[in-house]
């Protein structure tokens, strides 16, 4: 990978880690479903320029809209709003690497190596330890929401591969446009129409700037650049950089949100990191023979 592309992927993943601080702050101003709706609305803004939808079957765009534009955003914000620490959420979300590996095995016939199996087992043990450090009730449910967001991200990774298009900005913009109305409608129904309008009238310029950073820069353009590098280089060269996301997330939330990790939680974080290193850096997966 070239130096320029290496710097690019580090910048993208670093931005993604820092966005967990912004999401935590925005959840103090906006309810989760409304925040998810406004985030995908700003991510869909390139549609104003890219009028024509992507030249692929419509079901890929709809599937991308449901998986990334609707489900992933909502579940991740639900998890953080339920009490899941933002820094840990950035780490747990990286379980999408292993869900992607599983889906690639089932759908694309890519057979994981022994390192991937070991990584899944080690990271699973780390997730279990992290779960034991969380108080019961809503916070533990928040862990489940974040894991669900990771599954949804893995599904969107499969759609990117199966759709077979290089027009990634158009695909992502239209996919997020699909999620806007359902999320805002759900926010109106479940979070209260009056509360929605009150929250919208209280939005300041700082909040608007954070929404644009979160939706347009981090979500739309960030994922477009990540997808571009995945299509340009072998996955085993790109996916290890996903480790930058929880590093940036844990550091930024510790510095800016004063989130701390106890000894047991540190052990769980270490196991998840070790599993991710095994699964993405240790060995290169091989492809199952096709008839």
24, 83 contact by CB (below 8 A)? no
**pLDDT tens-digit series, residues 61-85:** 899 888 988 888 889 988 888 888 8
| Distance separating alpha carbons of residues 107 and 118, to the nearest angstrom | 21
Q: Return the pLDDT at 285.
A: 46
Q: Please report which helix (H) or strand (E) contains residue 287, including its range.
A: strand 286-287
- Does the pLDDT value for residue 272 go beyond 80? no
Q: pLDDT (tens digit, 9 = 90+) per residue, 147-191? A: 999 999 889 888 888 887 778 888 888 888 888 888 888 888 887
CA distance 16 to 173: 18
Instruction: Give phi and psi for 287, each to the nearest 5.
Output: -95, 135
Cα 275 to Cα 284: distance, rounded to the nearest angstrom: 14
- Phi, psi dihedrals of residue 78, rounded to the nearest 5°: -60, -45
Domain boundaries, the chain: 3-287
Q: What is the pLDDT of residues 184-236, one digit of tens each?
A: 888 888 877 776 677 777 777 888 888 888 888 888 888 888 878 877 776 65
pLDDT-wise least confident of 5-9, 109-113, 250-254: 109-113
The mean pLDDT of the chain is: 81
pTM attached to this predicted model: 0.80
Tens digits of residue pLDDT in 87-124: 888 888 878 877 887 888 888 777 767 777 777 788 77
pLDDT of residue 145: 92
Report the 10 Å Cβ neighbour count for 276. Answer: 26
Measured CA to CA, the distance from residue 97 to residue 261 in angstroms comes to 23
Q: Which residue, 105, 120, 113, 104, is CA-closest to 158?
A: 104
């Amino acid at each position: 990978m070239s130096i320029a592309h290496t710097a690019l992927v580090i910048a993208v993943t670093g931005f993604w880690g820092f966005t967990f601080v912004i999401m935590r702050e925005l959840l103090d101003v906006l309810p989760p479903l409304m925040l998810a709706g406004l985030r995908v609305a700003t991510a869909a803004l390139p549609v104003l320029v890219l009028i024509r939808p992507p030249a692929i079957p419509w079901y890929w765009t709809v599937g991308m809209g449901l998986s990334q534009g609707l489900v992933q955003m909502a579940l991740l914000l639900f998890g953080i709003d339920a009490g899941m620490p933002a820094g840990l959420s950035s780490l747990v979300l990286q379980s999408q690497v292993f869900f992607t590996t599983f889906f690639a095995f089932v759908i694309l016939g890519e057979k994981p190596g022994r390192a991937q199996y070991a990584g899944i087992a080690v990271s699973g043990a780390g997730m279990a330890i992290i779960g034991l450090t969380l108080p019961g009730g809503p916070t533990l449910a928040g862990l489940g929401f974040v894991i669900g967001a990771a599954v949804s991200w893995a599904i969107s990774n499969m759609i990117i591969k199966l759709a077979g298009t290089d027009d990634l900005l158009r695909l992502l913009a239209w996919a997020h446009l699909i999620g806007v109305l359902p999320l805002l409608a759900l926010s109106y129904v479940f979070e209260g129409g009056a509360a929605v309008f009150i929250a919208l009238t209280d939005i300041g310029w700082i909040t608007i700037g954070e929404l644009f950073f979160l939706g347009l820069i981090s979500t739309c353009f960030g994922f477009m650049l990540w997808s571009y590098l995945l299509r340009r280089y072998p996955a085993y060269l790109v996916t290890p950089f996903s480790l930058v996301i929880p590093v940036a997330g844990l550091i930024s939330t510790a510095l800016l949100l004063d989130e701390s990790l106890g000894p047991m939680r540190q052990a769980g974080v270490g196991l998840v990191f070790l599993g991710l290193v095994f699964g993405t850096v240790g060995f290169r997966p091989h492809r199952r023979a096709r008839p």
